[in-house]
């Protein structure tokens, strides 16, 4: 019964507490359990909230382990009443594990392509995102909110103040770091949201003393690169992956001149790019024509051009959990073949990848999901806009993740969120 002043969350937690009490009363093995296994195979009723439960446990300074390649990349949490209550409240499947069951599990892990990775702390998270409401959503933001994982938002002003060392993990919203506003002028030149975006960026550029928005974005991109070099974990999707790299390589090249002063871009821009300054890509041909809605030939699908390629499926590679624990963490899943989904940048041509780049998932001859190291930090790029909306359009309603609690595509995002928890990394200041 709801009492006066009781919120929905309070009611839900009361119900969860009652369910846990019943489980403790009727489950004979509960008293002897030492751990709670959070299975991440097909027995899990809510994969996405399982990440939130694990993050919450780390916030409570509980010990946690990530069981790589064991039942879909399961988690091991201490068997405590508060953990059980939280799992019940979130609708996450847990299995009590006594000492004998734990010993069997560890023997299996030791003898197989599996590994146990201690998770040490809840990483601090920031999303680089515009302060106004844009007519498109962001998959990472939705994943964090659905999983109930806390985050802060930052924008260019915070980047210019060099506050990035406050965060261990940063996600880049669907930004165009070349300063071309994703070439939305071709279709949305009169849209109020685009006019607001232009005005906002121009104001920040003026306040920062930059000649124009492309110069501002280039500086922001360089600061983000330094963040990675100094030990940060960077994750990006869609257009942020490709345009960040183009901005980094555009040392002394204005590839957005047509939008800054009306001067036609230099057709020789591609040959002047400094690819040694980029993190993931090399030798790409820049699309300088403002009438073509494409940034470069890094993207294999060219979604908004006449030569658009059809979607297929992408396949996750299986890595050795013992010898390649990082790519193994980033690819943990209960599915290995996933349907592809479009974005302004959908997949990456493999002949544009730098040597040493790790391909985590592949669609035919193209890379969908890639990872690499720079200095003391790492970057991970995931092509596409929304794993559960293959052809998302501007203005479409956002995905309701309550309808996709077992989404394998969104799991890849949340793998990245927990990745920093497995490694102590102090940012240089």
Q: What is the pLDDT of residues 306-328, one digit of tens each?
A: 899 999 999 999 999 999 999 99
Choice between 364 and 8, residue whose per-residue pLDDT is larger: 364
Of 65-69, 130-134, 213-217, the poorest mean pLDDT is in: 130-134
Question: Is residue 280 domain-shared with residue 170, that is, in the same domain?
Answer: yes
Question: Is residue 349 domain-shared with residue 403, that is, in the same domain?
Answer: yes
pLDDT for 231 equals: 96
pLDDT for 31 equals: 47
The string of pLDDT tens digits covering residues 23-64 is 444 343 444 579 999 999 999 999 999 999 999 999 999 999
Q: Is residue 145 part of a domain?
A: yes
Confidence of residue 426 (pLDDT cuts 50, 70, 90): very low
pLDDT for 380 equals: 98
Question: Is residue 218 domain-shared with residue 146, that is, in the same domain?
Answer: yes
Q: Give the domain range for residue 177.
A: 125-422
Q: Is residue 2 part of a domain?
A: no
**Arithmetic mean of pLDDT, 196-206:** 90
Which of 73, 101, 119 is the endpoint of a domain? 119
Q: Is residue 3 part of a domain?
A: no
Question: Is residue 200 domain-shared with residue 335, that is, in the same domain?
Answer: yes
pLDDT above 80 (res 187): no
Q: Is residue 345 part of a domain?
A: yes
Question: Is residue 134 domain-shared with residue 113, that is, in the same domain?
Answer: no
pLDDT for 11 equals: 52
The string of pLDDT tens digits covering residues 376-404 is 999 999 999 999 998 877 777 889 999 99
pLDDT for 25 equals: 41
pLDDT for 40 equals: 98
Which of 93, 119, 145 is the endpoint of a domain? 119
Choice between 247 and 293, residue whose per-residue pLDDT is larger: 247
Which of 79, 101, 119 is the endpoint of a domain? 119
pTM, full prediction: 0.88
Q: Is residue 429 part of a domain?
A: no
Confidence of residue 137 (pLDDT cuts 50, 70, 90): confident
Question: Is residue 395 domain-shared with residue 311, that is, in the same domain?
Answer: yes
Q: Check if the beta carbon of residue 119 is closer than 8 Å to that of residue 66.
A: yes
* Number of domains within the chain: 2
């Amino acid at each position: 019964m709801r009492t006066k002043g009781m919120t929905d969350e309070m009611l839900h937690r009361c119900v969860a507490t009652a369910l846990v009490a019943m489980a403790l009363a009727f489950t004979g093995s509960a008293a002897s359990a030492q751990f709670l296994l959070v299975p991440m195979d097909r027995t899990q009723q809510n994969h996405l909230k399982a990440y939130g439960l694990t993050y919450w446990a780390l916030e409570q300074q509980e010990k946690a382990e990530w069981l790589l390649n064991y039942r879909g990349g399961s988690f091991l949490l201490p068997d405590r009443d508060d953990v059980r209550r939280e799992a019940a409240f979130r609708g996450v499947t847990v299995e009590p594990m006594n000492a004998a069951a734990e010993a069997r599990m560890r023997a299996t892990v030791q003898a197989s392509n599996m590994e146990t990775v201690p998770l040490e702390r809840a990483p601090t998270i920031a999303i680089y995102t515009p302060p106004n409401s844009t007519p498109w959503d962001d998959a990472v933001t939705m994943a964090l909110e659905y999983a109930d994982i806390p985050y802060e938002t930052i924008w260019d002003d915070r980047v210019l103040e060099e506050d990035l060392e406050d965060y261990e993990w940063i996600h880049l919203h669907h930004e165009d770091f070349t300063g071309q506003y994703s070439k939305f002028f071709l279709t949305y030149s009169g849209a109020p949201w685009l006019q607001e975006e232009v005005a906002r960026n121009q104001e920040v550029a003026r306040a920062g003393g930059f000649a124009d928005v492309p110069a501002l974005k280039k500086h922001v991109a360089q600061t983000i690169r330094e963040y990675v070099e100094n030990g940060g974990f960077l994750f990006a999707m869609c257009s942020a992956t490709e345009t960040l790299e183009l901005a980094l390589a555009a040392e002394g090249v204005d590839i957005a001149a047509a939008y800054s002063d009306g001067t036609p871009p230099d057709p020789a821009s591609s040959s002047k790019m400094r690819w040694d300054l980029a993190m993931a890509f090399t030798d790409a041909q820049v699309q300088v024509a403002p009438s073509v809605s494409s940034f470069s030939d890094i993207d294999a699908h060219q979604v908004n051009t006449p030569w658009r390629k059809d979607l297929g499926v992408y396949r996750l590679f299986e890595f050795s959990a013992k010898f390649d624990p990082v790519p193994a963490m980033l690819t943990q899943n209960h599915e290995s073949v996933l349907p592809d989904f479009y974005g302004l940048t959908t997949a990456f041509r493999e002949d544009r990848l730098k040597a040493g780049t790790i391909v985590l998932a592949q669609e035919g001859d193209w890379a969908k999901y890639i990872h690499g190291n720079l200095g003391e930090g790492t970057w991970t790029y995931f092509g596409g806009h929304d794993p559960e909306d293959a052809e998302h359009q501007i203005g479409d309603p956002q995905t309701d993740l309550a309808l996709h609690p077992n989404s394998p595509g969104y799991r890849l995002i949340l793998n990245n969120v927990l990745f920093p928890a497995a490694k102590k990394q102090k940012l240089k200041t």
